Structure 1
Amino acid sequence: MARIAVIGAGMGAMAAAARLAVAGHRVAVYERTETYGGAVRRFERDGFGFDTGPGLLPLPAVYRDLFIKTGKEPLEACVELVQVDPSARHVFADGTELSVPNASRAGVVAALDEALGAGTGGRWGDFLVRAREAWDRTRRPLLEEPLWPNWQVLADREPYPAVPHKRLLRTRRAGTLAEVGAWELRDPRLVALLESHALAYGLDPRATPASAAVLPYLEHAFGTWYVRGGIRELARAVYERCVARKVEFHFGAEVVGVLEKDGRAAGLELGDGSTAEADFVVAGVTPGVLDRLVRESAVRGADEVAPQRGAASRLTVLLALRGARPEATAHRTVVHATDRETELGTLFGAAPGVAARPTVAVLRPDDPELVPDLGHEAITLSSVVPARPTGDWAEREVLDLHAEQLIAVAERAVPGLRDRLLWHEVCTPADIAEATGAEGGAVPAPALAAGDGRLLHPSNSTAMQGLLRVGGWSHPGGGLPHAGMSGALVAGLIVEGPEFRGSQ
């Protein structure tokens, strides 16, 4: 039985802790804040409840596997999963609206033809076929296996089988998601539908490799799910599973250093001056934080993937409304920017800023647990913003301006919104930074192939023996499913050793 010290109580860290405890190890988690979940938090006021991190769960099989492997009670015995249908409603720049059925290719094709015109469904369906091929080529190396030592192969090869396009008498293949949209979808609304999946992770579709086609495919193939009571309930269930498996949690315990002995991680130094000896250290922190805890040269190998740079953040506005949620309201509505070029130029330009009329995700869960009574509604608005120093979000005037921009956009999807509004709260990148320790409130994107490896993440193993990385800032990257996968990979590397090659 090994002693294992885990830094942080994010979703990936807790997933690793539960699996390691079941394998017979003694696991202790040290979390600098007073609660678990990392970015998966909850805000409550006046009987209203809101998720302030992710609001929906893609690929729930990752957490089903976690619960199967760590106890008798399956995931569905611990939380109530609800399949969201439609998967999303889209309001495009020209006012056209589209409701996308959940996990139904035929339904999506029919809905597109009806809403956007004959032929659009067929083009999107053909795109999904190619996206599936990219998914099949990258699923194991990017989700189910430790990062390959020769990861450069993933960086150099574009898995998306784009069809050839003739331009100036030359044949070209789409290298970016924007080129896939322009050359293969050929409709600004289909392009907006495609690019919204990248934008949701703070990725510029003009620079994001075509391999990002796996993002809409993942949602199409495996559906979109909601956890009754909010995604925070998933974090609670994972935490309680850890406790049931005898994982020790120490909250308010800031780690200030990783102890090293004979070139191997040997425990933790805590902010109160105490130490915790360990045979393995699992770090669920950002690359910058890990660099401060240990010498950088001891963590990264010479040929290792560099930490993902340029990650964006999120601005979230929580709305408490009088009046019941109307019947047949979509759980999620994406209101697309009226000017794509201006939005992308503002977000990803030389001096990134907050777009005046950004793409906004509007979440309207049909969940009585989130409201004081059925005569009220809780709505969450979110949009991508640049990661910024904490001080940039300190002024009330700045918060009010940005909240007003999101509310103005949301009015396109929620008639009479302002007349129903009781109050609102704003969650900024500074709040994300406080919860996760990420500089500027940055939110990691999932690992993607191609693009010279810019969207890969450092491997779970490090150059220091006994020190491993877990969570969104390590392989396989950001997002709830990816965090859960990182926990499985780290547990496998500790239990089975460096020869571990992932689930079969």
Structure 2
Amino acid sequence: MGRIAVIGAGMGAMAAAARLAVAGHRVAVYERAQTYGGAVRRFERDGFGFDTGPGLLTLPAVWRDLFIKTGKEPLEDRVELVQVDPSSRHVFADGTAVALPNASRAGVVAALDEALGAGAGSRWGDFLVRSREAWDRTRRPLLEEPLWPNWPVLAGREPYPAVPHKRLLRTRRAATLAEVGAWELRDPRLTALLESYALAHGLDPRVTPASAAVLPYMEHAFGTWYVRGGVRELARAVYERCVARRVEFHFGAEVTGVLEKDGRAAGLELADGSVAEADHVVAGVHPLRLRGLTERRLDDDGDVRPDTAARPGRFTVLLALRGPREAGAVHHTVVHAPDRTAELESLHAQADEPVRPTVAVLRPDDPALRPDAEHESVVLSAVVAAESDRHRSEWGERLADLLVTAAEAAIPGLRERLLWREVRTPGDGGTDAGSGGVSAPSLAAGEGRFLHPANTTRFPGLYRVGGWSHPGGGLPHAGMSGALVAGLIVEGPEFRGSQ
């Protein structure tokens, strides 16, 4: 079988590496950092531990499939998965709060009716039914198959269904997620709930296609999960599976170029002057970096053009708290922004004064992440405008203060319990995420602006993997990209995805 050189040790790259090794290929991974996992990192201090990347998992079946296909030891033998219930608690701008049960449509409908008033739950439940229709229409071409050569069909077709409008006596099709909220949910709190799923991926709901309705549907249908010990444990398990399948890892190995021989990718050039020859190259890096490594444009003449503009990034505050986690504390709370318009405008350009964004508060009940039962570790995060020097200045400290203020709605006595805090800006991840930008899952419609470049390239022998390639960002999508790339290399261009 062939030699495979993989650039980067992110989750998608490792997923591809493990599958290719099982198929009989000799796989070597070259990572310029000193560890694996990409954005799935951990910070530790004084006995406290924090996930600095994703803190929750949806669609665990993607990673279960990886472990089944790469050995007899299932995922649950390597990590402990715990369903988070409630999946989230939402605190809205008017002070109203609601806890949403995990993966229960009836439970969510009842909770929303009780918290927001009769009818709110049924409107959300009807929305989920329509979201499922969008999911069914796009699941296979957007998640389970390589990007079609005729991808413009996806770019122009809005899979979210039109909704009958009684007054107009006709149907009306929402073009954006914001229109779904305004026309169908008709409650600013339900709209905030809907839009929070887009904001978490750095998407402005005013321009994001209605097909983004699949994002809340995924959580509703497949549940929200926590990895005991932190999501970094999932990265460890995938890395160890790769090592067990004899994947070679080279850390601190800076790739400076992709070799070309006879018109195809033939290996890698490294910063130390060495060369790693290969029959195929798999690149788990940002499109801009890959373009530099190949010295050729990979998005010409019909390819999906990646959004190379600076993407919003994740601003994170890690909190070390004295005192035990109170009984009944919720794992995941979303504290919504007080000013929707100001928040959305701040995604595109930083204001002179920081704007309080929608804040996610993660409070895992996990002994592995705290020194003892008399302390608690908490992660606050928000998506903000692209990385800049302001994040590391007094402006960034004021933004961190705003996140802490928001978190007081989720954590009783927060300021009195605070021992110390650590601020992590979008650029602190040390990955190829384009200045710490958040990569969103691929979405249909929107004239193709919400798709990602295909896993194959116009440079034969070179493949893209990870969150900056099809099918986009997020832990489940990264795992899917690894499966697609492995299938394309093992089965060739006729590969059409899992059946």
- TM-score, with structure 2 as normaliser: 0.97
CA distance in 2, matches of 1:12, 1:254: 19
Partner of 2:50 in structure 1?
50
Q: SS of the counterpart of 1:440?
A: coil
Question: What is the Cα deviation at residue 164 of structure 1?
Answer: 3.8
Match of 1:463 among 435, 447, 458: 458
Q: Give the percent of matched residue pairs that are identical in Structure 1 and Structure 2.
A: 76
Partner of 1:385 in structure 2?
384
Match of 1:480 among 469, 475, 479: 475
Deviations 1:51-79 (A, max 9, x none): 00000000000000000000111000000
Q: Is the 8 A contact 1:333 1:361 kept in 2?
A: yes
Partner of 2:147 in structure 1?
147
Partner of 1:268 in structure 2?
268
Match of 1:490 among 485, 494, 499: 485
Q: Does 1:402 find its partner at 2:406? A: no
Q: Is the 8 A contact 1:306 1:457 kept in 2?
A: yes
Q: How does 1:260-409 map to 2 (within 5 A)?
A: 260-297=260-297, 299-310=298-309, 311-348=311-348, 355-389=354-388, 391-395=389-393, 397-409=394-406
Q: Is the 8 A contact 1:353 1:385 kept in 2?
A: no
Deviations 1:139-183 (A, max 9, x none): 001100000000000000000003044788986421100100110
CA distance in 1, matches of 2:336, 2:379: 16
Q: SS of the counterpart of 1:49?
A: strand
Question: What is the Cα deviation at residue 398 of structure 1?
Answer: 3.2
Question: What is the Cα deviation at residue 301 of structure 1?
Answer: 4.2
Q: Does 1:163 find its partner at 2:179? A: no
CA 1:491 to 1:115, structure 2 compared with 1: closer, same or farther past 3 Å?
same
CA distance in 2, matches of 1:171, 1:161: 9
Q: Is the 8 A contact 2:164 2:170 kept in 1?
A: no
Partner of 1:436 in structure 2?
431
Q: SS of the counterpart of 1:424?
A: strand
Match of 2:416 among 419, 426, 435: 419
Partner of 2:446 in structure 1?
451
CA distance in 1, matches of 2:243, 2:481: 20
Q: Give RMSD over aligned pairs.
A: 1.5
CA distance in 1, matches of 2:149, 2:127: 31
Letter aligned with residue 382 of structure 1: S
Question: What is the Cα deviation at residue 339 of structure 1?
Answer: 1.2
CA distance in 1, matches of 2:354, 2:408: 17
Deviations 1:238-273 (A, max 9, x none): 000000000000000000000001110000000000
Unaligned residue ranges in structure 1 (runs of 5+): none
Q: Is the 8 A contact 1:334 1:359 kept in 2?
A: yes
CA distance in 2, matches of 1:364, 1:375: 14
455-464 vs 303-312, greater mean Cα deviation: 303-312
Q: Does 1:501 find its partner at 2:496? A: yes
Deviations 1:67-101 (A, max 9, x none): 00001110000000000000000001111110000
CA distance in 2, matches of 1:208, 1:439: 20
Letter aligned with residue 411 of structure 1: E
How many pairs does the alignment contain? Answer: 498
CA distance in 1, matches of 2:58, 2:457: 29
Q: SS of the counterpart of 2:241?
A: helix
Partner of 1:187 in structure 2?
187
CA 1:306 to 1:454, structure 2 compared with 1: closer, same or farther past 3 Å?
same
CA distance in 2, matches of 1:148, 1:353: 44
CA distance in 1, matches of 2:382, 2:392: 18
Q: Is the 8 A contact 1:337 1:343 kept in 2?
A: yes
Question: What is the Cα deviation at residue 429 of structure 1?
Answer: 1.3
CA distance in 2, matches of 1:131, 1:437: 32
Partner of 1:9 in structure 2?
9
Q: Is the 8 A contact 1:162 1:180 kept in 2?
A: no
Q: Is the 8 A contact 1:165 1:173 kept in 2?
A: no
CA distance in 2, matches of 1:46, 1:197: 33
Q: How does 1:35-184 map to 2 (within 5 A)?
A: 35-165=35-165, 172-184=172-184
Q: Is the 8 A contact 1:257 1:269 kept in 2?
A: yes
Partner of 2:225 in structure 1?
225
Unaligned residue ranges in structure 2 (runs of 5+): none
Q: Is the 8 A contact 2:287 2:308 kept in 1?
A: no
Question: What is the Cα deviation at residue 400 of structure 1?
Answer: 1.8
Question: What is the Cα deviation at residue 394 of structure 1?
Answer: 3.6
CA distance in 1, matches of 2:235, 2:138: 28
Question: What is the Cα deviation at residue 403 of structure 1?
Answer: 1.1
CA distance in 2, matches of 1:354, 1:66: 45
Q: Is the 8 A contact 2:181 2:191 kept in 1?
A: yes
Q: Is the 8 A contact 2:392 2:425 kept in 1?
A: no
482-491 vs 441-450, greater mean Cα deviation: 441-450
Question: What is the Cα deviation at residue 437 of structure 1?
Answer: 2.3
Question: What is the Cα deviation at residue 438 of structure 1?
Answer: 2.7
